[in-house]
Chain A
Amino acid sequence: MREGLHKIASADDTIVALSTPIGRSAIGVVRISGSLAATIASQFFKTASSLIHRQAAVGRWESSNGQIVDEVVAIFYKAPHSYTGEDVLEISAHGNPLILNQIVCMVQSEGARAAQPGEFTLRAVTHGKMDLIQAEAVRNFIDAQTNGQARTALRQIEGAVSKRIAPIKERIVDLIAHLEAGIDFSEDDVELPDNTQTADQVSVLRAALEELHETYSYGKVLQAGVRIVIAGRPNVGKSSLFNRLVAMDRAIVTAIPGTTRDVLSEFADLDGIPLRFFDTAGVRETLDEVEKLGVTRTLETLSEGDLALLIVDGSRPVTDEDLGLREKLGTLPHLLVANKADLVVTREPALEALKPIWISARTGEGLDALKESMRTFLGSSRAEGLSESVLTTARQNDAVVRAGVSLRAGELALRAGTPHEMVLLDLYDSLSALNELTGEITTEDILGRIFSTFCIGK
């Protein structure tokens, strides 16, 4: 078992991190430092100009299949004339957490790893970039190390995630202990594990890691906020509901259909889950160019949403346009909301058949029921993600993926009849990756497991 090395922030890797706080902001900055910075830039950053030391370049950040992720400004600093003393690329993108997260992930996919708190500063010092008088930086660094990391560790690493990882690690330690006992104590009457059975057990663990990895797609959303799009025909009260839900007079509300032409968004909080509500332009056939543009934006926003609140006017009969919009939602889950309940005397049977949630954005009637429905939606359809643990950071996801890849290699080696001391390399690799996330397993723990499982010793 390799011990300790994972505790050392390697100075040779290229590191990446979001340098601005997570959350809503105009601009978010992703910073890359290390020898791979320029290569990574050339991979994703498409610009007419070229990257020149200390000059801002405007361009598109594109995925490998040419899809645009965002319009960004990139500044390249050539080593040693950068903050860290290494090649540095700073990417200023729009402050959307999802986009920023995606950029970080793309950079990681090209070989960079997630920076630890304070690591950029550490590198600056290592490369002699820090003036000794800048003692302030030392304190910042230490704060980042102790408070920042401790906080993160408490909230996530030592929290719910480790509860899910711990049993998987336990099983890996068991498997390792069995294989090791077969090597170190082959003279001691120890029963040898069967290759196929062991491979099957490894396979089960890999599946468990994969399941955990799958929670990351939701975890990302959870971290960045669940995107809830309010949609509907014009003048059904979308903006009123938006204001109710975010509890401030953000959207301009008028009786004139088509008032909202751009997409507004605001954060709100439901039981601690960040929700991001989007108020969109009403969808209808229109000749107004500006309004048409608004409708297009609405449809775009819907395509990036996690949940739609489809609003209909409960005081009027359901229209084909209402139903048509429902079709347009496609696979996006939605809740049907009938607004203006305060104006309704008798509920129309055609609408009632669709089982909408009745509310009044004006009086606030039915809002609790709506929240309850959203809660149910978030809780049930998202892999019970709220009660159970999900991976929320790229770093966690990265470690889980690496552990899974190593287990896969170990499984194949077992099935091929490879000597166990080599199979163990892969199993230890997976354990090391998980060691980065939860309480460390050491050689001593593995020996302890062997001695408590087998009667060793002549």
Chain B
Amino acid sequence: MFDESYEVVVVGAGHAGCEAAHAAARMGCATALYTMNADLIAQMSCNPAVGGIAKGHLVREIDALGGIMGLVADEGGIQFRLLNTSRGPAVWSPRAQEDKALYRTLMRRTLERTPNLFIKQAEVTTLLFDRRAAVGIELQDGRRVAARAVVLTTGTFLNGLIHIGEKQFTAGRSGEPSSISLANCIRELGFDCGRLKTGTPPRLDRRTIDFSAFERQEGDSRPTPFSLRTRQELRNTVCCHITQTNEKIHGIIRQNMSRSPLYSGQIQGIGPRYCPSLEDKVVKFADRDHHQIVLEPEGIDTHEIYVNGMSTSLPIDVQREILGRMKGLESAQMIRPGYAIEYDFVQPTELHPSLETKRAESLFFAGQINGTTGYEEAAAQGIVAGINAASKVRGEPAMVLNRSDAYIGIMIDDLVTKGTSEPYRMFTSRAEFRLNLRIDNADRRLTPIGRKLGLVTEEHWQEYLRRSGRIESMHAQMSSIKPDPAHAFFTTRGLDLKDRPTIVALLRRPEIHLEDLMKEGVLDSENLRAEDIVSIETAIKYEGYLKQQEREVEKLRNAEAKRIPHDLDYAQMPGLSREIIEKLSRVRPASIAQASRIPGVTPASISILLFHIAMRRLSDHPESVV
């Protein structure tokens, strides 16, 4: 009946699929990764960069769990910047320009070196079920592949439809076919599907650009890696360039608005508010006389330049006209035009927090199919889906990260609790416990979890233990050492240490930094790494705020601990309005905390829920009556 058999099958080899397949294989499952084109594994279909504010956090977390995006992005990176350093360490976030071709090569190499992982080129057309559980897939050539768990990471391929001006054609990405039969299969299964839209800007030929007209944006002199495991030296080999649009350009856009598929009604899908097309910006912010544009190289061995900020679906002749009015781009040649793409997604309220679907057992979704956008968001879901697919095969409980554990936990909780109406992107403002979720403590938060799952290699684990040891011994030292007040560090700064404070007490002062203390010889610390210093200093400097946050985390934990039975019938619960019954039945929250986050669920209905759970426990265990 089946031609081949694997434990886990992953459909799609984008950023979600790669992490999912790697995680499942690392956890010991025989894993097949299906892609329509094995040369385009880990293709960066939009901007040539990984990370960014909040996204960089996600990459660190993936890395801490034992994922691969961080290592690949470090090795494929050609310019590195740590963002938000003018603020506190909780919102520092790494970002890197990537060489797209190199990124694909490195990711494919990483996958090929992963035991139990097999790359397959074929189009998956149908999912196979036994009763309500996924048991395999069918390929376009008719072959059937058995699997004990299936992970779908289809990106923009499901019913993908590209728009450029008045023209539209089906495609998964520029130049690649879309998946129509698989999309139909998912709709037929009854999943609540919707349409989303995203866009990408034109790409230019570097040789035709006059770079002297732009402001340069350099990388950091001391690059920050995504992965704490990265040991090779990171180097900035390229530079980005900043410019802006002008009123002439805005005038051209206004004149041609009727030819924009966004405004002519041709596009039905909802696009992201935070990543608007240039025509959107001009319409919605009519009072602004300029918008920022950043030119980013797509790689070292190519002349292709990405025009960040100019995402558009206007016709090609209008795109050309716009570029012609931009200083420095007057004679720029376009390699590829910008376009908008519409695609199917499934409302993520269809998912458990494990990313397994509620409708079908052993079927997992990750990435853009769940309504998200971004490579990092996709990869973060990919690793979770891969872990939980493998756990399912092994008969182990699912891994669910809490909102207080990780950005990954926040993203998935948001998705499965609230669903989404526009492409979901991570922001630090979504994290209510933001101060605790830093890049410098991602390993402390997540590496022990990854280790327990079997995802963190022995080498990675030893590295983690060494770093923890360094931090702890430094902490111990600092709380006992009282530096000499006569040291030049203090006398030159006019600091009076009459009360003989410890290093810890000194570090509480905003103007004193651990790095300076070490540089000027107040403290000896030859083996500390840059990321260790940040971890140590942050814990001391912001102790008050961190404690304030910890109290709130405790409240959340209590509410998370109040579990809601899976089979609770909300319709049978007196006192709940029909609207609330409908909301609760759709999400089927796992805990009181999750229920309370569902929009529109009232305090009164939460009390009723608490009441019924308590009553039910009573009837199940009458002996508990005091």
Contacts and interface: CB of A to CB of B under 8 A. Distances in A.
A6 interface: yes
Contact of A422 (B54, B291, B542, B595): B542
A457 interface: yes
Interface stretch (B121-129, B354-362, B521-529, B608-616): B608-616
A428 interface: yes
Contacts of B444: none
B83 A186 contact: yes
Contact of B429 (A118, A128, A184): A184
B83 A125 contact: no
Contact of B276 (A4, A130, A146, A457): A457
Interface in A394-444: 417, 419-422, 425, 428, 442-444
Nearest to A448: B273
B607 A118 contact: yes
Counting chain A CB atoms within 10 Å of each CB, the highest count among B90, B311, B427, B593 belongs to: B427
A243 interface: no
A210 to B, nearest CB: 23
Contacts of A10: 555, 558
A287 interface: no
Contact of B622 (A132, A180, A186): A132
B274 A4 contact: no
Nearest to A184: B427
Contact of B52 (A80, A126, A187, A442): A187
A428 B432 contact: yes
A405 to B, nearest CB: 13
Contacts of B184: none
A329 B186 CA distance: 81
Contacts of A457: 272-276, 281, 309, 311
A129 interface: yes
B604 A455 contact: no
Nearest to B556: A5
Contact of A145 (B510, B597, B608, B615): B608
A458 B610 contact: no
Interface in A101-146: 116, 118-119, 121-122, 125-132, 138-139, 141-142, 145-146
B549 A425 contact: yes
Contacts of B54: 184
Contact of A180 (B281, B429, B601): B429
Given A128-B626, A447-B427, A6 B53 contact: no
Contact of B308 (A186, A442, A458): A458
A125 B84 contact: no
Contact of B87 (A8, A121, A150, A421): A421
Contacts of B548: 425
A89 B429 CA distance: 43
B625 A128 contact: yes
A455 to B, nearest CB: 4
A422 B91 CA distance: 11
Nearest to A146: B575
B545 interface: yes
A456 interface: yes
A384 interface: no
Contacts of A149: 603-604
Contacts of B294: 458
A2 B293 CA distance: 35
A446 interface: yes
B371 to A, nearest CB: 14
A189 B559 CA distance: 39
A9 interface: yes
Interface string B528-565: 00000000000000100100110010011011000000
B602 interface: yes
A85 B581 CA distance: 30
B544 to A, nearest CB: 9
Contact of B596 (A8, A85, A125, A138): A8
Nearest to B544: A422
Interface in B370-419: 418
Interface in A67-96: 80, 85
B231 interface: no
Contact of A80 (B607, B615, B626): B626
A455 B614 contact: no
B619 interface: yes
B68 interface: no
Counting chain B CB atoms within 10 Å of each CB, the highest count among A139, A184, A420 belongs to: A184
B603 A6 contact: yes
B292 interface: yes
A332 interface: no
B555 A5 contact: yes
B434 interface: yes
B574 A142 contact: yes
B618 A128 contact: yes
Interface string B238-273: 000000000000000000000000000000000011
A125 B87 contact: no
Contacts of B611: 118, 121-122, 125, 138, 141
A96 B479 CA distance: 57
Instruction: Identify the 5 closest CB pairs spanning chains A and B, nearest first.
Output: A4-B596, A419-B88, A142-B575, A4-B597, A7-B603
Interface of A: 1-10, 12, 80, 85, 116, 118-119, 121-122, 125-132, 138-139, 141-142, 145-146, 149-150, 180, 183-189, 417, 419-422, 425, 428, 442-444, 446-448, 450-451, 455-458
15 contacts: A1-B432, A3-B596, A7-B596, A7-B606, A121-B611, A132-B615, A132-B618, A132-B622, A139-B574, A422-B545, A442-B599, A447-B427, A455-B285, A455-B288, A457-B273
Given A425-B545, A458-B47, 13 more contacts: A3-B596, A7-B602, A9-B610, A118-B611, A122-B611, A126-B610, A149-B603, A189-B291, A421-B87, A457-B274, A457-B276, A457-B309, A458-B293
